[in-house]
Amino acid sequence: MSLRQSIEAKLTAAFEPDRLFVIDESHLHAGHQPDMTGTGETHMRIRIVSAHFSGMGRLARHRAINTLLQPELDAGLHALALEPAAPGEAVRW
């Protein structure tokens, strides 16, 4: 199972999203640091709509996702771009 698939599974189990997109953007970051070649799964964008985020502020949403994915971050995932929303909220995607 790829890292992207593992992240999707964890987010689905934890937040039961209405919509979920986990996008591997690693190739966009090639050369940003000497060891960033653009290969592998180092940079992920998460777009998620879930009722679990209703009534939560932006920081609380980000903390909830980061806490869930802390093992992946500790294992080498370099960056997460998070776009969480509750149902009915406007999204840019």
Domain 3-29+41-85: CATH architecture, name and number where available: 2-Layer Sandwich (3.30)
- How far is residue 25's CA from residue 27's CA, in Å, rounded to a whole number? 6
* pTM score of the predicted model: 0.85
Write out the chain's pLDDT in tens, 93 residues.
Answer: 899 999 999 999 999 999 999 999 886 645 555 555 445 678 899 999 999 999 999 999 999 999 999 999 999 898 899 999 999 999 999
CA separation (Å) from 32 to 36, 37, 57, 72?
Answer: 6, 8, 31, 20
